[in-house]
Amino acid sequence: MKLSSLFLTGLIGVSATAPAFAKVTAPQDARVFRLDGGGVTYALGVDDKGYLQPLYWGASLAAGDPLVSTDVVKTGDPVLIKAPGELSGFDPAGSVTLQEYPGQGEGLVNDPGIKTIFADGNRDLVLKYKSHRVQGETLLIELADIRRPLTVTLHYTVDPETGVLARSASVRNGDRRAVRVDQIASAVFTLPVGDDYRLHYLTGRHAAEWTKKDVAITPALTLLESRRGSTGHGNNPYFAIGREGITSEDAGPVWYGALAWSGSFRISVGQDNLGRIRVMGGYNPYDFSWSLKPGETLDTPVFYAGYSNGGMGGASRTFHRFQNAHILPGGERAKPRPVVYNSWEATAFDVTEAGQEALAEKAAKIGVERFVVDDGWFGARNSDKAGLGDWTVNRTKFPNGLKPLIDKVHSLGMDFGLWVEPEMVNVDSDLYRAHPDWVLNYPDRPRTEGRNQLVLNLARTDVRDHLLAVLDKLVSENDIAFLKWDYNRNWTEAGWPAVPVQDQQRVYVEYVRNLYHILSELRRRHPKLEIEGCSGGGGRVDLGILGFSDEVWPSDNTDPADRLMIQDGFTQAYPVSVMMAWVTDSPNWANTRATSLDYRFLSSMQGGLGIGANLDKWQAEDFTTAAKWVAAYKTIRQTVQRGQLYRIDPPTSDNASSATMYVGQDRRQGVMFQMLHSSMWRDNPVAQHPQGLDPAQTYAVRILGGGALPEGVPARASGAYWMQRGLRAPLKGDFVGTAFVFDAVK
């Protein structure tokens, strides 16, 4: 990420100018700091008592605009940033002073950025500005306690294209005795006083992830958190804040962000005692503490956040663009997701060389590009009760190893992938019998199993190194292009008895750090290897794991109607480019709903297309239908996966129809999907209006997959015409759909 322009000035309360992309040299007496990029300004400054205060976050300000706090006093020229005094005996100065990153001290009653206990029992921590510097493209501001040698360094970077901020914090103990850190945030964000803010977030459970919710922001704190050891299905570490009656899908201010962390997290949102809106996020303090040794530093995850004045749609498109460029492996040069076939629904654990080869032949006939063998290929894995942890090929199922199957898959024009779940172990496994101490556990306490498995303690370096070695060996000895990396339970008994008591709760951080280490090193050793992140569906999707994942599995629920809502929720926060969507069997396992193969394809084609159905049960007409849709998808894949997403008519539980639009970055192609859940009494549906096309460009329109245009729809017209007049798809019945493709006429 490049720093677009960062303004640091010695004039208190007044911004200075600097050329964009210029290397910044900050004067040492700077009292106001300003970061600009992508039409966004973020500013902060030091008040007259030495506190670092947030000053502004929103649409870009002019270079000469003053930057002051809401509490100011004129003492001539310039304007000082003034720390407020006591409001009453119930509101001391420490509780009303707006701080960029407050310590738990001096009467603070809001969520602190950091909470500590010193060796002598002191729990008061008051952080004030000490120094700053610019290191490359990052602004570093150091805060220090007023008495003790403990410092917190705040890190700031802004993307010049999108204005997305990257913020994190590092605490260092300069004392001769350990300091216990009980809570630490990556960042605290502040919005001005207001009673009309609404928080938008994503929640759910297994097979029902990505449900959109919004609530009024009030003094009653709203907590988005996971205590599960991983991101979890329940709350995603993402937020968006709009203003009631002002913010819509297409217009109005939105402040948004997501934490890049795949472990237990906590994001709090609420009004402080003066009505200002505060958002804080970082490690979850639940069951967490870190004994910070003398000279030691603890770093937080990065909290990414941005602003858009283009409504919820504009916010998500900007965030998608940022993630595609700066978070995902390969960045903007990453290749689109191939059409994949996965064998799970066809075979479950009954995996054999002959059976997989037969499925591969059928998958190749419909245009599949990647063949993935799911669970059951390794160890004594004939059910979910044994074998997990033993990552060696089952020689009964594959007498000559995986090579004959891989060669067969390659001969059919596909690459080869495998399912793995490296972080877990069955008690009935060679690994557990050899190393029962390698799992999360408390001595002399139960070891609770979930899905008949325990969680390996990746915080241990011996476990980390073992897993890296066996995975490296597996990929090195076989021509494997892809790993579907699964994680199918949450933590219980999160103990680490092998380390001193004061360090055992480090497990929540060290586990995730070592997970990232394994993924990073595996990709370094095998640069062509691609990885899918999965946790019973969407149980571990966040900006941390996305840094190592080419794609993710949003939900185990593959019902095409449910998936439209799941995919709509997912794309509020994360880009279509990583969102896999499978065509599976009907009736669907999740709800027994029966749908046509056409409808299932049209739903799944709105992400990275995959097929997980049992091809052994398909009829000839099913293969013909699938081949048609796979070929059609390949003509729009780049637009869907890497284009701009417009939610024209979002799917909801009480909406009979929905419409979603994808437009290529160069606006040469657009695709509008119209999906009907169920017919209503009215036979004359409303027109759906495309968005994002070039108004001056002429587009030819066609039906994806072939077919005649509806009566009255011209074969070509300008982008302005299509967006103003719209199109009506004469959809009738239940669970039907169509897609209009707009191709620019040369």
pLDDT of res. 23: 28
Contact 28/133 with Cβ under 8 angstroms? no
Say whether the peptide bond before residue 587 is cis (omega within 30 degrees of 0): yes
Q: Is residue 70 predicted with pLDDT exceeding 80?
A: no
pLDDT of res. 730: 87
Look up 428 and say whether it is catalytic: no
**Please, where are the H alpha helices in 19-132?**
93-96
Question: Percent of the chain scored above 90 by pLDDT?
Answer: 86
Q: Both tokens of residue 389?
A: 């942890």
**Please, where are the H alpha helices in 58-120?**
93-96
CA dist., res. 717 & res. 450, Å (int) = 57
CA dist., res. 619 & res. 603, Å (int) = 21
Rounded to the nearest 5°, which phi and psi values hold at 379?
A: 45, -145
Cα pseudo-dihedral 721, 679, 604, 552, rounded to 10: 100
pLDDT of res. 87: 87
Chain-centroid distance of CA 413 in Å reads: 32
Q: Is residue 18 predicted with pLDDT exceeding 70?
A: no
Q: pLDDT digits over 587-623, tens only? A: 999 999 999 999 999 999 999 999 999 999 999 999 9
Q: How many CB atoms lie within 10 A of CB 238?
A: 23
Check 145, 374, 415, 486 and give the catalytic one.
486
Q: Is residue 93 predicted with pLDDT exceeding 90?
A: no
pLDDT of res. 686: 81
pLDDT of res. 404: 98
CA dist., res. 722 & res. 566, Å (int) = 28
Looking at residue 53, its amino acid is Q
pLDDT of res. 80: 60
Q: Both tokens of residue 103?
A: 């310590």
Q: pLDDT digits over 705-718, tens only? A: 999 999 999 999 99
DSSP-based three-state secondary structure for 208: strand
Q: 3-state SS of 139-152?
A: EEEEEEECCCCEEE
Ranges 77-86, 183-192, 275-284, 299-308: which has the least confidence: 77-86
Q: Is residue 111 predicted with pLDDT exceeding 50?
A: yes
Q: Is residue 71 predicted with pLDDT exceeding 80?
A: no
CA atoms in the 13 A half-sphere facing the CB of 262: 24
pLDDT of res. 13: 30
Q: Is residue 28 predicted with pLDDT exceeding 50?
A: no
pLDDT of res. 14: 29
Q: Give the residue-averaged pLDDT of 344-359.
A: 97
CA dist., res. 370 & res. 687, Å (int) = 38
Contact 741/670 with Cβ under 8 angstroms? yes
Looking at residue 82, its amino acid is K
Where is pLDDT greater, at 678 or 489? 489
Q: What is the pTM of this model?
A: 0.95
Predicted confidence band at 684 (pLDDT cuts at 50, 70, 90)?
Answer: low
Ranges 317-331, 427-441, 724-738: which has the least confidence: 724-738
Where is pLDDT greater, at 324 or 21? 324
Rounded to the nearest 5°, which phi and psi values hold at 304?
A: -90, 140
Written as one string, the DSSP assignment of 596-664 is -HHHHHHHHTTSEEEE-S-GGG--HHHHHHHHHHHHHHHHHHHHHHHSEEEEEE---TT-SEEEEEEE-
Q: Is residue 29 predicted with pLDDT exceeding 70?
A: no
CA dist., res. 572 & res. 501, Å (int) = 41
pLDDT of res. 64: 81
Q: Taking phi first (over 0 means left), then psi (-120 to 50 degrees means alpha), and beta for anything else, what does residue 452 get?
A: left
Close Cβ partners of 652 (under 8 Å, ≥ 6 residues apart): 565, 658
Crossing angle (nearest 10°) for helices 560-573 and 597-604 = 0
Mark 147-182 as b/e (b = at least 16 C-beta within 10 Å).
ebebbbbbbbbbbbbbbbbbbbbbbbbebeebbbbb
Contact 645/616 with Cβ under 8 angstroms? no
Contact 718/698 with Cβ under 8 angstroms? yes
Predicted confidence band at 72 (pLDDT cuts at 50, 70, 90)?
Answer: very low
DSSP-based three-state secondary structure for 441: coil
pLDDT of res. 508: 98
CA dist., res. 387 & res. 366, Å (int) = 33
Contacts 24+ apart (CB under 8 A), 80-88: 80/12, 80/13, 80/47, 80/48, 81/12, 81/13, 81/31, 81/32, 81/45, 81/46, 81/47, 81/48, 81/53, 81/55, 82/47, 82/48, 83/47, 83/48, 83/49, 83/51, 83/53
Q: Taking phi first (over 0 means left), then psi (-120 to 50 degrees means alpha), and beta for anything else, what does residue 735 get?
A: left
pLDDT of res. 30: 62
Q: Give the residue-averaged pLDDT of 182-204.
A: 97
Ranges 25-29, 343-347, 593-597, 642-646: which has the least confidence: 25-29
Q: Would you call 74 exposed, middle or buried from its count of C-beta atoms within 10 A (0-12, 13-18, 19+)?
A: exposed
Q: pLDDT digits over 285-297, tens only? A: 999 999 999 999 9
Q: Is residue 19 predicted with pLDDT exceeding 90?
A: no
Look up 486 and say whether it is catalytic: yes
CA dist., res. 83 & res. 256, Å (int) = 28
pLDDT of res. 22: 23
Check 36, 390, 428, 556 and give the catalytic one.
556
Q: Both tokens of residue 233?
A: 């299905």
Q: pLDDT digits over 398-438, tens only? A: 999 999 999 999 999 999 999 999 999 999 999 999 999 99
